[in-house]
Amino acid sequence: MSRMEELAARGGKVVMNTYSRFPIAFDHGKGMYVWDADGKKYLDFVAGIAVNSLGYGHERLGEKIAEQAMKLIHVSNLYYTEPQIKLAEMICEHSGFDKVFFCNSGAESIEAALKICRKYASMKSKPGRDIITMEHSFHGRTYGAVTATGQEKYQKGLAPLMPGIKHVPFNDIEALKAAVDKNTCGILLEPVQGEGGIHPADKEYLRAVRKICDENDIVLVFDEIQCGVGRCGELFAHQALGVTPDAATFAKGLAGGVPIGALMATNKLAEAFKPGDHASTFGGNPLATSAGTVVLDELFNNGLLENVKKQGEYLKNKLLELKGKYPIIKDVRGIGLMQGIELGIPVAPVIAECINNGLLLVGAGTNVIRFVPALIVKSGDIDEAMRILEKAIVHL
């Protein structure tokens, strides 16, 4: 039995079966590559599902985490720490938001967003507490987040779900207008739907949604858990799309792999939260926020955002070239380094063949392959990935 087979067997006995895991156990990584326990090397275009923004073995990130771990890992949010303050300052400086709430994950940031919508309505003495979200969306696995998610497969067996959540078709402004009424207190959407198949929102649609919220004093929240943190060429995807929400959630790549989540809000909205209204024991701890400052510094001061724009365009063009050669590819869509290709067949066999040949990819639904590499990706990495992908398509 190989080392990898041994680890898979051990894991299967003690780890809950909540993921359809590949029979691979990873040991270490460097840059864009990761090695399994038997020494096989893979080019990684999954990046922990858009989490490992700086790739593997990033020296500055590792050094900062080690330095902070020897100073303070956790002291509780009963007190201030400089790393948390610094990261919040960096986020506010580079966005249209005034306040930040830190937590540990994207799902937790959604829970905070749902609560702040209803707390704001209460503060304003608005009659209703309904929140509208989008079909085919994905917002997380906790009860509020999974209720907000517009895909029944994630809700199976969990009824009764949280009340007061309505779903409408994405990018359909007339459907949204028909759903909004005096009981609506919030609208939640992803500027780029991730798990739903890599579908960017239309700019005109977002502008119309913003107008509806302004006219009805409805809180507009953007879920940028996957599409934020520079992945679309700006700190936030909504900055690339030109529409600013009242609040935004993000997580995944913010600390380069250390668990973190955040809810950003304007002062008007942030006032709805008073001491005791919401909290997170581990949220914004010094270790995670120190890591976050390194990621944002790389984005703004070390050319990483420019790399995303350049390589995102390069990746899209390479995918379009493949689409021109292979009719099985029905569509190419996305923004920056969040791209997807839709195939005319289920993508699982293609992904499996790519993995077999040393390229890690992940799906976004049954027929879409998602490309969310580390933001440090270079043109040569993309060329190698396209070579392996093309080989897998020809192999069909």
184-189/219-223 β-pairing: parallel
pLDDT at 215: 97
Structure tokens at 67: 């330095």
pLDDT at 87: 98
pLDDT tens-digit readout, 115-127: 999 999 999 998 8
Cα–Cα dist 129/115, whole Å:
10
Question: Is residue 1 pLDDT above 90, yes or no?
Answer: no
For range 5-32, the mean pLDDT: 94
Question: Is residue 396 pLDDT above 90, yes or no?
Answer: no
Question: Is residue 352 pLDDT above 90, yes or no?
Answer: yes
Strand runs labelled E in 85-159:
99-103, 130-134
pLDDT band at 310 (very low <50, low <70, confident <90, very high): very high
Fold of 72-301: Aspartate Aminotransferase; domain 2 (3.40.640)
pLDDT band at 395 (very low <50, low <70, confident <90, very high): confident
- Pick the more confident residue, 8 or 357: 357
Other C-beta atoms within 10 Å of 226: how many? Answer: 29
Say if residues 242 and 233 touch (Cβ distance below 8 Å): no
Say if residues 168 and 179 touch (Cβ distance below 8 Å): yes
Cα–Cα dist 168/163, whole Å:
16
Say if residues 344 and 367 touch (Cβ distance below 8 Å): yes
Show me where the domains of the chain are located: 3-58+303-395, 72-301
Cα–Cα dist 45/242, whole Å:
27
Question: Does the pTM exceed 0.75?
Answer: yes
pLDDT at 90: 98
Tell me the residue type at 305.
L
Cα–Cα dist 278/271, whole Å:
12
Say if residues 165 and 137 touch (Cβ distance below 8 Å): no
pLDDT tens-digit readout, 130-173: 999 999 999 999 999 999 999 999 999 999 999 999 999 999 99
Structure tokens at 167: 């779903």
Question: Where does 3-58+303-395 sit in CATH, by number?
Answer: 3.90.1150.10
Question: Is residue 282 pLDDT above 90, yes or no?
Answer: yes
Cα–Cα dist 225/193, whole Å:
10
